[in-house]
A and B are shown apart, each in its own frame.
Chain A
Amino acid sequence: MKTSVKEPETQVKRPDESLFKRLTRQQLFIPVAALTLLVLFNLIADPSFFAVSIKENSLGNPVLSGNIISVLDNASELVILAIGMTLVTASSGGQDISVGATMAIAGSVILRMVCGTEVTADTLHMPLILAVLIGIFVSMLFGAFNGTLVAYFKIQPMVATLIMFTAGRSIAAWINNNQLPIMNDISFKYAGTFLPGIPVPTPIFITAFMILVFWLVLKFTNLGLYTQSVGINANSSRLNGLDPQMIKLLTYVILGVCVAVAGFIRVSRSGSINYSRIAENIEMDAILAVALGGNALSGGKFNIYGSILGAYVIQFLTTTLYKYDVPSTALPAYKAVVVILLVVLSAPVVREKLAGMKKAPAKAAKGVS
């Protein structure tokens, strides 16, 4: 099963179309074009943006440093979320806006597990892998909660997930009695920073691993075909023996796994958690990544690699804006403008109008002949 179905064959067969038109119709056109623009801008404005150097980090290990490394590193959580968000979008035609809040929950659970009852712990109270697995399990439960509301109670995804969006950070605080646990064991921070002796940030490896896992899952199961089929036509899918509700639920549970992994990376970066600020506004970025990747927010066909690329583009944009001293709190305003532009351009009404403008001269020409 291959989800990134491009259609070069059919498009090549239309000789009357210009190369430009064929390019713009490719699903990956938008993210690639956006990335190219950003790269060009930075090249012209300040080529040193791309410089990569080796520095010593706080532990005295030599590590890679530079804007590009920082983009790849900081995009990790977003890329992982974007994968799950793409599946949810495809199957249910809506988005989960609680991912930031559930990341806080997963992070809080993991910290709680490794810190035991202590507020400031110097050693792991539990094998890290077990703590992460528990975090993943809890996060899957919350995913199942969202998925149940969407699939079985037929509540619009965004409204259903509004519940966790509100309560999530409070639940995260409640899990740790509103204390701010701090994990000082250095091995806890490996996942969010660097493994000893390796100069590349660990989140990049985790992200690559997650991408690989989903590539394998999409290749060796029917997840892609089923979610797309359900998202495009649930009636028809049911008559072909699928269980649309079950599949929608499944995608939300899978998103739960992604959320937990992303939450783990985030708490591992600092070894601590700030319930109200951790992964703030990340749901917006995740939705934006899906849209930037050329996926319809109304569900159906999806291209997971588009979303991944979209996530990197967003991080690239964020890093660039930071470099030019745009305060982090003002970022949402810029991104909101990008979202609105994207949804306006992909709105059926606007598309028809644009298509109509192109077709009108063609019709007139036919009328003459």
Chain B
Amino acid sequence: MQEGAVLEMRGICKYFPGVRALQDVDFTLREGEIHALMGENGAGKSTLIKVLTGVYPKDGGEVYIKGVSGAALIRSPQDAQNAGISTVYQEITLCPNLSVAENMYIGRTKGAMTNWKQMNQGAGKILKSLGIPAGPTQQLGTCSIAVQQMVAIARAVDMECKVLILDEPTSSLDDQEVQKLFGLMRDLRAKGVGIIFVTHFLEQVYEVCDRITVLRDGTLVGEYVIEDLPRVELVSKMLGKELDDMADIKGEAGGTAVSLEGAPVLEAAGLCSSAGIKPFDFSIRKGEVNGFTGLLGSGRSECVRAIFGADHVTGGTVKMDGKDVKIRKPLDAMKQGIGYLPEDRKGDGIVGDLSVRENIILAFQVMKGFFHPFSRAQAEAFADEYIKLLEIKTASADTPIKSLSGGNQQKCILARWILTDPKYLILDEPTRGIDIGTKIEIQKLVLRLAAEGKSVTFISSEIDEMLRTCSRLIVMRDRKAVGELCGEDLTQTKIMATIAGGDEE
């Protein structure tokens, strides 16, 4: 172990079926430092932390903890707690049916009995010192999300720990609460505790952290001292900018010389949904490719979900080809000629146990209706056509889709929507977690579709991809559209500056 290090992870690997979540990642945490772990969604931050805390077993590599000789064996969250690692997870991992005080003490007290008086007093003291507006006997579920998160933090802080992990703890906190948390973090740093801080708020990283480790696509990009890494450079490292071999596919596919005039295919005004986005206006023209960009949680997916009727739409109007339409549920949108490839391929996209063929024809079949199934021959013809067209690698059309690689699964979902011959296709992160070759293929396909006169919304965490495919970008921050870039403004620096926000001043 390095001198002064409190935690070292070497060559950590983790695989999920069909996905390489972590590949040979190193990470070092020193005593008395706040260390930011950065990366876009799917970069592997949360996976790394869950491996460290024993929620997931690791498939390779070693973990060393100060005071433990040899590689530490952490097989469960209990082991991690005993080794001095306490964690606040991204999603709240407390029990909503228990009281605040119980949530702070359960699972870490010794003895068979619960001493309510002592526990409530102890909890009361901590709550007061942290200024958390909750009583120890209050049921946790009745507290606001922010208070629940503060309780989780209080629990973690109260444990005598060497390593404190905060996995996106601030997303539900307001500024004052964040400042309180930062004060707490600085105190712990002074006591020599090593803190791993995961967040997607850049301001917060630069306010409180000493060091940054950046992950991308499950691999380590690098470790940097905060002073050496300006904001824009951090964003570019997180998003990755390989402007190399696949430089100019725009030209290859005939370019996106789409006129920005002409009648819009879809116009939305004041659209908002139960997912909590601020009302936004949006329109797209025939043959146009545009995009929503912004960091994770900025609301880009929620916008397109509202257009497709995937979330409960709470307000706003939508026009297709100039005519008012009501889109309440996905089927309405599909009938209007809208297709939607969802962000969460596994959860919302594929129907895992069904065959490739059934997955491809699903949407078109639903549009055709319950009493009009495609004949076997017809379905096979459709499937074979698109397997060939999109070069989907599968043993046969009968193979269950879940046994395909991520990229090929995504191609099947694309095929599903192209088969319905939509006027407007929404692709939310179609390239996430798939290999680079397939990424390029998908981008080319998008441009080809546009050239055929379809309108496409393309969302990606990778700015390069957006630059290569989109002629107009809507930038989102904090669930609000904060800018629209097109023409000459479509440059990497300009986009990153708009996303980062803070650097403009």
Q: Do A and B come from one complex?
A: yes
Query: In the complex, what residue of chain B is closest to A224 when comparing beta carbons?
Result: B373
Tell me which of B308, B362, B399 has the highest count of chain A C-beta atoms within 10 A of its own C-beta: B362
Q: Is A222 an interface residue (CB 8 A)?
A: yes
Which of A2-10, A31-39, A143-151 interfaces with chain B?
A: A2-10
Query: In the complex, what residue of chain B is closest to A2 when comparing beta carbons?
Result: B376
B355-371 contact mask (Cβ, 8 Å, vs A): 1 or 0:
10010001101110111
Query: In the complex, what residue of chain B is closest to A301 when comparing beta carbons?
Result: B353
- Hey, which chain B residues are within 8 Å of A225, CB to CB? 354, 358, 362, 365, 373
Q: Is the CB of B348 within 8 A of A9?
A: no
How far, in whole Å, are A236 and B363 apart by their CA atoms in the complex?
10
A98-123 contact mask (Cβ, 8 Å, vs B): 1 or 0:
00000000000000000000000000
Q: Is the CB of A239 within 8 A of B352?
A: no
Assess A9 versus B395: contact at CB under 8 Å? Given A222-B373, A236-B350, A301-B354.
Answer: yes
Q: Is B398 an interface residue (CB 8 A)?
A: yes
How far, in whole Å, are A232 and B349 apart by their CA atoms in the complex?
11
- Hey, which chain A residues are within 8 Å of B376, CB to CB? 1-2
Query: In the complex, what residue of chain B is closest to A238 when comparing beta carbons?
Result: B330
**Whole-angstrom distance from the CB of A10 to the nearest CB of chain B?**
5
Q: How large is the interface on A (under 10, 10 to 19, 20 to 34, 35 or more residues)?
A: 20 to 34
How far, in whole Å, are A241 and B310 apart by their CA atoms in the complex?
10
Q: Is the CB of A237 within 8 A of B351?
A: yes
- Hey, which chain B residues are within 8 Å of A10, CB to CB? 395-396, 398-399
Q: Is B63 an interface residue (CB 8 A)?
A: no
Q: Is A226 an interface residue (CB 8 A)?
A: yes
- Hey, which chain A residues are within 8 Å of B386, CB to CB? none
- Hey, which chain B residues are within 8 Å of A235, CB to CB? 347-348
How far, in whole Å, are A330 and B310 apart by their CA atoms in the complex?
52
Q: Is the CB of B334 within 8 A of A229?
A: no
How far, in whole Å, are A225 and B365 apart by their CA atoms in the complex?
9
Return the contact of B363 from the options A220, A223, A233, A241 (Cβ within 8 A).
Answer: A241
Assess A241 versus B331: contact at CB under 8 Å? Given A229-B351, A236-B348.
Answer: yes
How far, in whole Å, are A123 and B365 apart by their CA atoms in the complex?
50
Q: Is A369 an interface residue (CB 8 A)?
A: no
How far, in whole Å, are A31 and B352 apart by their CA atoms in the complex?
25
**Whole-angstrom distance from the CB of B398 to the nearest CB of chain A?**
5
How far, in whole Å, are A2 and B377 apart by their CA atoms in the complex?
11
How far, in whole Å, are A207 and B329 apart by their CA atoms in the complex?
40
How far, in whole Å, are A303 and B358 apart by their CA atoms in the complex?
15
Q: Is B340 an interface residue (CB 8 A)?
A: yes
- Hey, which chain A residues are within 8 Å of B340, CB to CB? 239
Q: Is the CB of B366 within 8 A of A239?
A: no
For chain B residues 317-354, which have a beta carbon within 8 Å of chain A?
329-331, 334, 340, 342, 347-354
- Hey, which chain B residues are within 8 Å of A343, CB to CB? none
**Whole-angstrom distance from the CB of B308 to the nearest CB of chain A?**
8
Q: Is A13 an interface residue (CB 8 A)?
A: yes
- Hey, which chain B residues are within 8 Å of A92, CB to CB? none
For chain A residues 219-251, which have a beta carbon within 8 Å of chain B?
219-223, 225-226, 228-229, 232-233, 235-243
Q: Is the CB of B349 within 8 A of A236?
A: yes
Q: Is A293 an interface residue (CB 8 A)?
A: no
- Hey, which chain A residues are within 8 Å of B330, CB to CB? 238-241
Q: Is A300 an interface residue (CB 8 A)?
A: yes
- Hey, which chain B residues are within 8 Å of A300, CB to CB? 353
**Whole-angstrom distance from the CB of A198 to the nearest CB of chain B?**
35
How far, in whole Å, are A280 and B395 apart by their CA atoms in the complex?
47
Q: Is the CB of B348 within 8 A of A221?
A: no
How far, in whole Å, are A226 and B358 apart by their CA atoms in the complex?
10
Assess A5 versus B398: contact at CB under 8 Å? Given A233-B350, A240-B363, A241-B366.
Answer: yes
**Whole-angstrom distance from the CB of B420 to the nearest CB of chain A?**
10
**Whole-angstrom distance from the CB of B359 to the nearest CB of chain A?**
9
Q: Is the CB of A232 within 8 A of B373?
A: no
**Whole-angstrom distance from the CB of B409 to the nearest CB of chain A?**
12
**Whole-angstrom distance from the CB of B322 to the nearest CB of chain A?**
24
A1-43 contact mask (Cβ, 8 Å, vs B): 1 or 0:
1100101011001000000000000000000000000000000
How far, in whole Å, are A10 and B310 apart by their CA atoms in the complex?
35
**Whole-angstrom distance from the CB of A311 to the nearest CB of chain B?**
23
Q: Is the CB of A229 within 8 A of B371?
A: no
Q: Is the CB of A236 within 8 A of B353?
A: no
- Hey, which chain B residues are within 8 Å of A242, CB to CB? 331, 366
**Whole-angstrom distance from the CB of A300 to the nearest CB of chain B?**
5
Return the contact of B373 from the options A9, A220, A228, A240 (Cβ within 8 A).
Answer: A220
How far, in whole Å, are A131 and B367 apart by their CA atoms in the complex?
38
How far, in whole Å, are A236 and B343 apart by their CA atoms in the complex?
11
Query: In the complex, what residue of chain A is closest to B345 when comparing beta carbons?
Result: A236
- Hey, which chain A residues are within 8 Å of B353, CB to CB? 228, 232, 300-301
Query: In the complex, what residue of chain B is closest to A8 when comparing beta carbons?
Result: B398
**Whole-angstrom distance from the CB of A331 to the nearest CB of chain B?**
33
For chain A residues 49-95, which have a beta carbon within 8 Å of chain B?
none
**Whole-angstrom distance from the CB of B428 to the nearest CB of chain A?**
11
Q: Is the CB of A221 within 8 A of B351?
A: no
**Whole-angstrom distance from the CB of A91 to the nearest CB of chain B?**
13
Q: Is the CB of A9 within 8 A of B362?
A: no
How far, in whole Å, are A159 and B217 apart by their CA atoms in the complex?
44
For chain A residues 270-303, which have a beta carbon within 8 Å of chain B?
300-301
**Whole-angstrom distance from the CB of A255 to the nearest CB of chain B?**
18
Assess A229 versus B373: contact at CB under 8 Å? Given A239-B330, A241-B330, A241-B334.
Answer: no
Query: In the complex, what residue of chain B is closest to A13 when comparing beta carbons?
Result: B395
- Hey, which chain A residues are within 8 Å of B342, CB to CB? 236, 239
Q: Is the CB of A233 within 8 A of B352?
A: yes
How far, in whole Å, are A9 and B329 apart by their CA atoms in the complex?
38
Query: In the complex, what residue of chain B is closest to A6 when comparing beta carbons?
Result: B398
Query: In the complex, what residue of chain A is closest to B352 when comparing beta carbons?
Result: A232
- Hey, which chain B residues are within 8 Å of A13, CB to CB? 395
Return the contact of A221 from the options B347, B363, B371, B399 (Cβ within 8 A).
Answer: B371
**Whole-angstrom distance from the CB of A244 to the nearest CB of chain B?**
11
Query: In the complex, what residue of chain A is closest to B331 when comparing beta carbons?
Result: A241
Assess A9 versus B366: contact at CB under 8 Å? Given A228-B353, A237-B351, A241-B331.
Answer: no
- Hey, which chain B residues are within 8 Å of A240, CB to CB? 330, 334, 362-363, 366, 416
How far, in whole Å, are A228 and B369 apart by their CA atoms in the complex?
16
Return the contact of B371 from the options A7, A220, A301 (Cβ within 8 A).
Answer: A220
- Hey, which chain B residues are within 8 Å of A220, CB to CB? 371, 373
A124-160 contact mask (Cβ, 8 Å, vs B): 1 or 0:
0000000000000000000000000000000000000
How far, in whole Å, are A241 and B368 apart by their CA atoms in the complex?
11
How far, in whole Å, are A240 and B422 apart by their CA atoms in the complex?
13
Query: In the complex, what residue of chain A is closest to B357 when comparing beta carbons?
Result: A5
14 further interface pairs, Cβ-Cβ under 8 Å (given A1-B376, A235-B348) = A1-B373, A9-B396, A13-B395, A222-B372, A225-B354, A229-B354, A236-B351, A239-B349, A240-B334, A240-B362, A241-B329, A241-B330, A241-B331, A242-B331
Q: Which residues of A does B touch, CB under 8 Å? A: 1-2, 5, 7, 9-10, 13, 219-223, 225-226, 228-229, 232-233, 235-243, 300-301
5 shortest A-B CB distances, which residue pairs?
Answer: A241-B331, A241-B366, A1-B373, A10-B395, A240-B363
Q: List 30 A-B contacts (CB under 8 A).
A: A1-B376, A5-B398, A7-B399, A10-B396, A10-B399, A219-B373, A221-B370, A221-B371, A221-B373, A222-B371, A225-B358, A226-B366, A228-B353, A229-B354, A232-B354, A233-B351, A236-B348, A236-B351, A238-B330, A239-B310, A239-B342, A239-B348, A239-B349, A240-B330, A240-B362, A240-B366, A241-B330, A241-B331, A241-B334, A241-B367
